[in-house]
Every structure is written in structure tokens, then in C-alpha cells.
Amino acid sequence: MHPFTYVAPRTLDEAVAVLEQHGERARPFAGGTDVLVQLRGGRFDLDAIVDLKGVPEATSLDLNGSLRIGAAVPCYRIYEDSAVAAAFPGLIDAASLIGGIQIQSRASLGGNLCNASPSADGICPLIVHSTVAVVQGPQGERRVPVEEFCTAPGVNVLGRGELLVALEVPAPARGFGAAYQRFIPRNEMDIAVAGVASALTLSDDGATIASGRIALAAVGPTPLFAAKASAFLAGKPATPETFAEAGEIASTEATPIGDMRGTAEHRIELVKVLTRRTLAIALGRAQSNR
């Protein structure tokens, strides 16, 4: 491993300055559950890692109707906050699923997003919650919808000197429900063969879907927002038939490869099944949120 400097800034400006100075030779560091493994695995060399855990904006978790999750907030803080857990069960599905207990005490949803893995468990639930990524850089702040954040496997929109500060999750509307499920061959310690997050908002009649969002993991180069399947849901009755059809449509938006984790054909089938299953859970949550 190439020797690198550990920097622990206290302010966003400091962090941005160090990142700008080193460019691609520096990375922000939250839990380190990806970046340290990648460094040790020789994926890349760094001259500096910039620990965000001393930067207040990156470590705060604020619930005020909407939810603001600092980029370095570890998963356990999200699921152990009972108010957050009650309001955002669809995010908890992912926060309590990523890794084991030890990993969850370090790993953050922000890091999960920046790592930009197509199979990330954290990203699809953020997408269906219409989450916005708050980015700070040399030119100041900019805001990026999460579905536009990842651009290729392991690649994101962050430019030189930029870092993810926080994730802003809008307050769930009345009648909103969301869920995430992934398929793994074992019961733990696995990367998703495919994953689906679904969200829907019920109309006042409690039976019609006003709007819906579906996002797909591990079936494309990035986590995918399934635009057609999402649009299809609007105005449809919240029934198993609708969910099955949404799954069929979502499966046409998936572009999986076959690899050691599963075949492309299997992944397509899983998108259909998991879309159905997550929509059914989302519906249950939506009904209890009216």
C-alpha cells in the first residue's frame, strides 16, 4: 500500500481545500468500509484520506419532517433513532441490511452512495425517497438528485475538490410508503444479485396510487431509476395485478450482465419478483401512514 496522509479537518472549507489540493489522489473518508478495503486491494493509491467525522455538517442527523443525513453518519445511528425509524421504514430496510453489526457501526449511506456500486443496497431506497445529495466544492454548494449521482460502476458526479456533505430526504407525504428488498443466495454476508426499492403514495381514496417510484440495484451499470415502471403506477389501483405489471415493465428497464453472482436471465426474473414484493410492503406501510 502506498503511504498516505490522514487529514481530519474540522470544517467543510478545510476538507474541500485538502481534496482540491490532491485531486484524485485524495478521498473523503467516513466509515472506511469501502475505501480502506479498496486501498488494501490495490484498486488505487492515495496520498491523503480526508476524515469527515470531525465535520459537523457531515455527522449530524436531523429530523424535522424532512430528514437530513450527514454523509458520514453510520447506519446504526439511523436505525437506532426511533423517530427516524418510524418515519422512514424504507430507508431502515437498507440501513439495517448493509453488512453486519460491525460494518453498520462504521458504514454510512453517504459512503454507500459515493462508492457508486451498481449493487449498493443504500442507493435505491434513497432514489425512491426522492433524496437530494448536497455537494460542497470549491465553487460552493450544489444539489444533485440521487438518481443522477452515480454515472458508471464506481464513478460519481463529484469533481475535483468536491465532497458529499449530506442527503436530504423529503418528508414523507400522507399515504407514502416505501420498501427495499434484495436477493442473495445466502441469508447474510452477500452482495445483492438484484435489489428493488419501491415507493408509492396513495390517493385520498386509499385505493389508487397517486404516484410511485421504483429503483433497481445490480441490474445495470449504476443503480437505476425505473422511470417507465414508476410512471406506470400513477393512477393505477394498488392491487397485486398492478404490482405484477409494474414488475414486468421494470424488468424491461433493467440491463443486467451475467456474472459470478447470477445470470442475466435470473436477474430479470428477480426484478419482477422483488418489484411485486416491495410494492406490496410499500402499500402496507402507505396504508398505515394515512
Partner 1 sequence: MTTTADRPSQEFKVVGSRPIRHDGVDKVLGRAQYGADLKLPGLIHGAVLRSPYAHAVIKKVDVSRAEAAPGVFAAITGDDMPVTGSKVVDMVEEVTNLKWSSQRVMAHGKAVYRGHPVAAVAAVDQNTALEALKLIEVEYEPLQAVISLEDAMKPDAVIIHDDLVGDHLGEKVSPTNVAEHTRTEFGDPEAAFAEAAHVLERTYTIARAHQGYIEPHSSTAFWSPDDKLSVWTTTQAPFGVRSNVATVLKLPLSDVRVVPMEIGGGFGGKIGLYMEPLAAMLSRKSGRPVKMTMDRKSVFDATGPGPGGQVTAKIGVDKDGKILAATADIRYMAGAYPGSSISAATAGIFACYKVPNVRIDAYDVVINMSKTAAYRAPGTPQATFASESLISELCETIGMDPMEFHLLNAAEEGTRRPDGPVFPRIGNVACMEAIRDSEHFSSDLEKSPDGKLRGRGLATGYWNGGGNRSSVTISVNDDGVVSMVEGNPDIGGTRTTLAMQAAEVFGLPAHDVHPTVADTDSVGYNDLTAGSRTTYASGQAAIEAARQVVEEIKKRMAMIWETEPENVEFEDSVFRNKVAPDQRLTFKEAAGKLGQTGGPVSKTGTVNVRGSGGGSFAAHLVDVEVDPETGKVQILRYTAAQDAGKAVHPSYVEGQFQGGAAQGIGWALNEEYYTSPDGVMQNSSFLDYRMPTALDLPMIDAIVVEVPNTNHPFGVRGIGETSIVPPAPAVGNAIADAIGTRLYQTPMNPSRIMEALANKRNGKNGH
Cβ at position 4, least distance to partner 1 in Å:
11
Nearer to partner 1, 1 or 207 (CB): 1
Nearer to partner 1, 92 or 270 (CB): 270
Cβ at position 1, least distance to partner 1 in Å:
6
Cβ at position 37, least distance to partner 1 in Å:
10
Q: What's phi and psi for 148, nearest 5 deg?
A: -105, 5
Cβ at position 111, least distance to partner 1 in Å:
17
How far is residue 35 from each of residues 51, 112, 136, 261, 278, measured CA to CA in Å?
Answer: 11, 10, 20, 22, 30
DSSP state of 80: T
Cβ at position 162, least distance to partner 1 in Å:
29
Nearer to partner 1, 25 or 266 (CB): 266
88 near 67, Cβ under 8 Å? yes
Which residue from 214, 212, 204 is spatially nearest to 175, judged by alpha carbons?
A: 204
Nearer to partner 1, 163 or 193 (CB): 193
Helices (H), 66-220: 75-79, 82-87, 89-95, 101-104, 109-115, 123-128
Strand, helix or coil for residue 118: coil
Nearer to partner 1, 68 or 182 (CB): 182
Footprint on this chain of partner 1 (rule: CB under 8 A): 1-3, 183, 185-191, 193, 259-263, 265-266, 269-270, 273
Residues near 153 by Cβ (< 8 Å), separated by ≥ 6?
Answer: 116, 117, 118, 221, 222
Cβ at position 134, least distance to partner 1 in Å:
31
Separation CA 22–CA 129 (nearest Å): 34
DSSP state of 23: G
Cβ at position 214, least distance to partner 1 in Å:
18
Separation CA 246–CA 229 (nearest Å): 5
Nearer to partner 1, 9 or 256 (CB): 256
DSSP state of 259: B
The β-bridge partners of 201 are: 176, 211
Nearer to partner 1, 188 or 241 (CB): 188
